[in-house]
Amino acid sequence: MLVTGIEILRHAHENNYAVGAFNVNNMEIVQAIIEAAEETNSPVILQASQGGLKYAGVEYIAALGKLAAHKAKVPVALHLDHGTNFQQIMLCIRHGFSSVMIDGSKYGLEENIAITKKVIEVAHAVGVSVEAELGKIGGTEDDIVVDEREATFTDPKEAKIFVDETNVDYLAVAVGTAHGVYKGEPELDFDRIKTIKEMVNIPLVLHGSSGVPDESIKRAVSLGINKINIDTDLRIAFATAIKDFLADNPDNIDPRKILGPAKKAMKEVIKKKMELFGSVGRA
Ligand code: G3H
Ligand code: 13P
Ligand code: ZN
């Protein structure tokens, strides 16, 4: 069933576990996620990035996501990932997304608060929940020096002001993760997660969660992370399975035979993540 993001994440917040938010770009990825969620009885979030919307188009993503959610035996939210444009966010809401992200992280605090409030006013009026971001979750440049890196992290005092002023449903925090493939091992600032959680007391979101060691993910969840974004680990599973299949079957030209193993490989990765996040059996 299609539900709002906050319906899923409030339960996770109150019961101290996290729900996976997996990036979707095509039918096979959607099916892999939904099958994994149903087989583990786990709530789940399907999310579309800027790249995903550009690739598939909002109509296709919305139709696929809504069909999958309506057919699913578990709660599913359809979420816009890293929305930055008010018009696009409204378009997604109009197409039936049940959750949207307004990523104002490139702005200063006041401007981020202002654009987040603008989105929330409309989204909440039509029952759609909202994620915002405070601090900067970057790419994987590891040549950035520690002081500069920490300067981009979420400030707990600012987080409190931000949440009080915006009434945002869940907040993405910058605590040491980065999008894409890590060059070294990511170091998370666990004390910062704990402090932010104590100060804001709402579901927290971890971006750039692919490639983060399992023990770090577990600790982050125990300290208050409730939504965990995964894209790169699915891309790796997808591409590796296709390369392996074609290496073994160089003459095969059937898209179903080529994509079948990729879907299965993604599903296995997703099920393991669901176990790690603690969402298994929570549907
Ligand atoms: O947040 C970023 C995601 O990994 C999606 O990236 O815009 O290339 O789909 P994308
Ligand atoms: P990864 O690609 O590093 O898993 O990050 C995904 C993400 O944060 C999407 O918003
Ligand atoms: Zn992200």
Mean pLDDT of the chain: 96
CA distance 281 to 263: 22
| pLDDT band for position 158 (cuts 50, 70, 90) | very high
141 vs 218 pLDDT, higher one: 218
pLDDT digits (tens, 9 = 90+) for 262-274: 999 999 999 999 9
- pTM passes above 0.90: yes
CA of 101, closest atom in ligand 2: 10
CA distance 108 to 104: 8
Instruction: Give pLDDT, residue 150.
Output: 76
**Residue of 99, 128, 98, 133 whose CA lies nearest to 116:** 133
Regarding the beta carbon of 231 and ligand 1, being less than 6 Å apart is answered yes
Closest Cα to atom 5 of ligand 1:
49
> How many domains are contained in the chain?
1
Residue 184 lies in a domain: yes
Closest Cα to atom 8 of ligand 2:
207
Most distant CA pair in the chain, distance: 60
Residue 282 lies in a domain: no
- Catalytic status, residue 81: yes
pLDDT digits (tens, 9 = 90+) for 46-96: 999 999 999 999 999 999 999 999 999 999 999 999 999 999 999 999 999
Q: Is the distance from CB of 42 to CB of 274 less than 8 angstroms?
A: yes
Q: Is 0.85 exceeded by the ipTM?
A: yes
CA of 269 to the centre of ligand 3 (A): 19
Q: DSSP letters of 25-46? A: -SHHHHHHHHHHHHHHT--EEE
**Domain with 120 in it: what CATH number?**
3.20.20.70
Residue 250 lies in a domain: yes
Regarding the beta carbon of 179 and ligand 2, being less than 6 Å apart is answered yes
Residue 225 lies in a domain: yes
Instruction: Give pLDDT, residue 139.
Output: 80
Three-state SS for 209? coil
Instruction: Give pLDDT, residue 71.
Output: 98
Q: Residue 155 burial by CB count (10 A; 0-12/13-18/19+): exposed, middle or buried?
A: middle
Instruction: Give pLDDT, residue 146.
Output: 62
Q: Is the distance from CB of 240 to CB of 221 less than 8 angstroms?
A: no
pLDDT digits (tens, 9 = 90+) for 94-126: 999 999 999 999 999 999 999 999 999 999 999
How far apart, in Å, are the Cα atoms of 73 and each of 18, 62, 182, 232, 276? 19, 19, 35, 26, 21
Residue 108 per-residue DSSP state: -
Q: Report the sign of the C-alpha dihedral through residues 32, 33, 37, 38, in that order.
A: negative
- Residue 159, pLDDT above cutoff 70: yes
Q: DSSP letters of 58-92? A: HHHHHHHHHHHHHH-SS-EEEEEEEE--HHHHHHH
| pLDDT band for position 151 (cuts 50, 70, 90) | confident
Closest Cα to atom 7 of ligand 1:
51
Domain range for 271 is 5-277
CA distance 18 to 207: 13
Residue 283 lies in a domain: no
Regarding the beta carbon of 203 and ligand 1, being less than 6 Å apart is answered no
